């Protein structure tokens, strides 16, 4: 029975990162974490497109566009939505999650979901610290695994 798995090295593959500017004191750190993970996976800095968008709501449409036009091996989606006192939080989170899922399925390009949805600034900052527990780092590692899984599957088709 054939078994397929992704790899930890993605040398030679191109990636895109879509990052929301809203709460950039957090998303900038998620971006640093994602870049660190891609470097650890031997992805060349020149093989990386970085797209800044206004907020988490806009991440999915930019992810869809970059996937369709530049055909990266995977897209890493980064953002930070912090709960306020209104239902706005739920709408943005739901739109972001469903939008990224739909963009990945419709383009066939794997997308990693590194959009934090937290109850407080403290929870967001905790998830954007240095090292592998940074959620941007984790999302980039998921993107590497999914991209290389796809390469492994295509090599056998
Ligand atoms: N966008 C975020 O990325 N995080 C938030 O916490 C947030 N809040 O709280 O409103 C937020 N709003 C902006 C939204 O993503 C869109 O940019 C805006 O609605 C314009 O479409």
Catalytic residue among 11, 88, 105, 121: 88
For the CA of 20, the closest atom of ligand 1 is 3
Q: How many residues does the chain have?
A: 157
The predicted pLDDT at position 157 comes to: 75
The predicted pLDDT at position 93 comes to: 97
Instruction: Read off the pLDDT of residues 90-122 as tens digits, 9 standing for 90 and up.
Output: 999 999 999 999 999 999 999 999 999 999 999
Cβ(45)–Cβ(88) below 8 Å? no
**Secondary structure class of 130 (helix, strand, coil):** coil
Name residues contacting ligand 1 (CB within 6 A).
Answer: 20, 22-23, 54-58, 79-82, 84, 88, 92
* Domains detected in the chain: 15-46+55-156 (3.40.50.960)
Distance CA 34, CA 40 (A): 10
Verdict on whether the full-model pTM lies above 0.85? yes
Name 139's Cβ contacts closer than 8 Å, sequence gap at least 6.
30, 34, 76, 77, 78, 112, 113, 114
């Amino acid at each position: 029975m054939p078994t397929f798995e992704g790899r930890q090295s993605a040398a030679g593959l191109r990636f895109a990162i879509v990052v929301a500017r809203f709460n950039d004191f957090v998303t900038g750190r998620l971006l640093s974490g994602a870049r660190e993970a891609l470097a650890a996976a031997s992805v060349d800095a020149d093989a990386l497109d970085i797209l800044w968008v206004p907020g988490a709501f806009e991440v999915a449409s930019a992810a869809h566009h970059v996937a369709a036009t530049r055909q990266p091996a995977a897209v890493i989606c980064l953002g930070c939505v912090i709960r306020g006192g209104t239902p706005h939080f739920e709408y943005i989170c739901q739109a972001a999650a469903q939008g990224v899922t739909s963009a990945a399925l419709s383009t066939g390009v794997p997308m990693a979901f590194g959009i934090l949805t937290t109850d407080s600034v403290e929870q967001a900052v905790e998830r954007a610290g240095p090292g592998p527990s940074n959620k941007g780092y984790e999302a980039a590692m998921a993107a590497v695994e999914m991209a290389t899984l796809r390469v492994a599957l295509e090599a056998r088709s």
